[in-house]
Chain A
Amino acid sequence: RKEVEQDPGPFNVPEGATVAFNCTYSNSASQSFFWYRQDCRKEPKLLMSVYSSGNEDGRFTAQLNRASQYISLLIRDSKLSDSATYLCVVTQYNFNKFYFGSGTKLNVKP
């Protein structure tokens, strides 16, 4: 079983739409959670960390549900520039191992 699972998409949405991605993780001992963004032919970059209480950064909201072992990312008022692949990442504290999902591709259309 994979450590982290995501719907690969693609999610095709119009500008201004609200879109949500979910991700599930298998190890209940996972401790830190992140969303990374990866543009085409670029390296992944941190979008935001995910905290138990949920957190928001502008148009982006991340939630963690430890009981159900899933993480979500909500993007409001989608922009063309949001088109990218969104990677769900979890870590375990044994030597800070990072486990990546396969990514969810988002295409925002005019």
Chain B
Amino acid sequence: EAGVAQSPRYKIIEKRQSVAFWCNPISGHATLYWYQQILGQGPKLLIQFQNNGVVDDSQLPKDRFSAERLKGVDSTLKIQPAKLEDSAVYLCASSLSRVGAELFFGEGSRLTVL
């Protein structure tokens, strides 16, 4: 079974530039999550989708971050303009929408903002 796919794996940009990350979840997983993980910290939820609807985006810095999940399958996360503090690993994860379902992660996209 194919896992969660993410791209690009690495990205280096200068502050105020823009960047986009892509995620394709495991087939059949209705719930998709984007997490931000800063070195030494646990993953922090940015946004959660159920099919193509947003369930929770309360911690998404909406002045610079946006995300969409058109057609309820793959998703993109965009940052514009980037700040130095956005340097982190952006993890996409997916799960089945049932009680006790496991969360599966992609390998992550490591962003460095200079």
- A32-B100, A46-B102, A49-B100 are contacts. A100–B43 as well, Cβ < 8 Å? yes
Of the candidates B43, B48, B106, the one whose C-beta lies within 8 Å of that of A95 is B48
Contact A32–B99 (Cβ < 8 Å): yes
Contact B50–A95 (Cβ < 8 Å): yes
- A49-B100, A95-B50, A97-B56 are contacts. A43–B42 as well, Cβ < 8 Å? no
Q: Which of A46, A91, A96 neighbours the largest number of chain B CB atoms within 10 Å of its CB?
A: A96
Range of interface residues on chain B?
A: 20 to 34
- A95-B55, A96-B31, A97-B48 are contacts. A87–B42 as well, Cβ < 8 Å? yes
Contact bitstring B90-114, A, C-beta under 8 A = 1, else 0: 0101010111111101111000000
Contact A34–B102 (Cβ < 8 Å): yes
Contact A44–B43 (Cβ < 8 Å): yes
Contact bitstring B38-68, A, C-beta under 8 A = 1, else 0: 0011111100101000011000000000000
Contact B99–A43 (Cβ < 8 Å): no
B112 → chain A, closest Cβ, in Å? 13
Q: Which of B41, B42, B50 neighbours the largest number of chain A CB atoms within 10 Å of its CB?
A: B42
A68 → chain B, closest Cβ, in Å? 21
A28 → chain B, closest Cβ, in Å? 17
Q: Does B21 contact A (CB under 8 A)?
A: no
Interface of chain A residues 2 through 42 with chain B (CB within 8 A): 4, 6, 8, 31-32, 34, 36, 42
Q: Does B33 contact A (CB under 8 A)?
A: yes
Contact bitstring A91-110, B, C-beta under 8 A = 1, else 0: 10101111111110000000
- A31-B99, A43-B91 are contacts. A102–B41 as well, Cβ < 8 Å? yes
Contact A44–B105 (Cβ < 8 Å): yes
CB-CB under 8 A from A96, the residues of chain B are: 31, 95, 97-99, 101
CB-CB under 8 A from B108, the residues of chain A are: 43
**Docked pose: A18 CA to B105 CA in angstroms:** 29
Q: Which of A4, A43, A45, A87 neighbours the largest number of chain B CB atoms within 10 Å of its CB?
A: A43
Contact A46–B103 (Cβ < 8 Å): yes
CB-CB under 8 A from B91, the residues of chain A are: 43-44
